[in-house]
Chain A
C-alpha cells in the first residue's frame, strides 16, 4: 500500500482541524458536528482517525488538568507511579 502523499495529508489535516474547531465552539453539542465528522472520516485513513481521536482526548485531558486549580479534579483517574 502506498503512503499518503503531501496533498492527501494536507486534506486530511484540514478536515480534522475543521472538525476540531467545531468541537471547540462554546456550548456545542457533539452531534452538531456530525456532518464534519463524516467528512473528516472520509478524508483520513481509519488508523489516522483513531490516532487523532486519541490525541484529542489527551489534549482535552491536559486542558482539564491545567485549568483546575490545585491539581487533579475528582473523578479523573490517574495512575500513581
Chain B
C-alpha cells in the first residue's frame, strides 16, 4: 500500500486531478486515504525525490542591499545629469532664437554703397566678419577725427588680445555731396590702413542711415559755402551674422569699448558652439 501511495504522489505533480481519481478507483483505496481529501493529501506532502528547498534568507539580507542602493543611486544621478544637460541645451537654443528675432527688428539692416576704391559694396559683403561702423563726414571739426582715432585704437587693441578677432572698420559718410571717393580714401588712410570708407547717392546714404537709425542734418552754410553736418555720434558693432550687437557713444573710452567687444565676441562664439546633442540633430 505504501508503494502505491508513493507512486501516486510521485506522479501527482505530472498528472492533474482528473487522472488521480481513476487511478485511485482502480484498486480499493485504504481507509486512511478515504478519510483525507485527495487534493490535500497530495499537495501538502513534500515529495521526497525533489531536492530540499532553500531555507528563508538569513536576517538582515532583504531585497534592498547597500550594493543595490548604490547602483540605483548611480543610475539615477546619471539620468538626472543627462536631463539637466538636455534642458540647458534647450534653453540656450531658445535664447538664441529669441535674441536673433529681437536683434533684427530694432537696428541694422542692408545697405548698398560704393567703397573708396570705387567698388560697389553691400552689407552682405561683410558677413562672416565682425564690423565696427561709424557715420561721419570729412569736414568734421573735431568729433569725427576723435571717434575715428578711438575706433582705430579699439580695432588694434582687440586684435592684439588672444581672445580677440579681427574687425573690419567701416566709415559711412553722411555728407555725400562733398565726400567723393577720393576724399574719403585720403581721409580714411589717415586713421587706419584697413578703414574702408563708403559713399554713394543721397538716397543710398539716407537708406543706410535709416537702417541704423542715424540722424543727420546739414547745418547753415557760411560765406565759404562750408557747413557742418549734425549727426548721431555712435560706433556700431555688428556681428558676423550681420546683426547689430552693441554701440559705443562718445562717453565710452577705447578701453571700455575693447572690453565690451571682446565680451560680445565670446558670447557669440559660445552661442554658436553647438552642444553634443545639437550636432547630432
Residues of A within 8 A of B (CB): 1-6, 9, 12-13, 44-48, 50-52
Contacts and interface: CB of A to CB of B under 8 A. Distances in A.
Given A6-B190, A13-B142, A51-B141, A1 B225 contact: yes
A12 B179 CA distance: 21
B186 A46 contact: no
How many residues of B sit at the interface, in one of the four size bands? 10 to 19
A47 to B, nearest CB: 5
Contacts of A4: 139
Nearest to B186: A5
Given A3-B138, A9-B145, A13-B142, A47 B183 contact: no
Given A3-B138, A3-B139, A4-B139, A47 B222 contact: yes
Contact of B224 (A3, A5, A13, A46): A46
A45 B224 CA distance: 9
Contact of A47 (B138, B178, B179, B227): B227
B201 to A, nearest CB: 20
B270 interface: no
Nearest to A46: B222
B105 to A, nearest CB: 30
A3 B141 contact: no
Nearest to B187: A3
Contact of B183 (A2, A6, A13, A50): A2
Contact of A46 (B138, B179, B223): B223
A46 B226 contact: yes
B149 to A, nearest CB: 10
A48 B63 CA distance: 92
Interface of B: 138-139, 141-142, 145, 178-179, 183, 186-187, 190, 222-228
Given A47-B222, A47-B224, A5 B190 contact: yes
Contacts, number: 42
A46 B179 CA distance: 19
Contacts of A48: 141
Contacts of B145: 6, 9
Contact of B226 (A13, A47, A52): A47
Contacts of A44: 141
Nearest to A3: B138
Contacts of B141: 12, 44, 47-48, 51-52
B53 to A, nearest CB: 96
B68 to A, nearest CB: 74
21 contacts: A1-B139, A1-B178, A1-B224, A1-B225, A1-B226, A2-B183, A3-B178, A3-B179, A3-B187, A5-B187, A9-B145, A45-B224, A46-B222, A46-B224, A47-B141, A47-B222, A47-B228, A50-B222, A51-B141, A52-B141, A52-B142
A52 B223 CA distance: 18
B226 A45 contact: yes
Nearest to A50: B222
Given A48-B141, A51-B141, A3 B226 contact: no
A3 B190 CA distance: 12
A9 B139 CA distance: 10
A2 B138 CA distance: 9
Contacts of B138: 3
A47 B222 CA distance: 7
B7 to A, nearest CB: 115
Contacts of A3: 138-139, 178-179, 183, 186-187
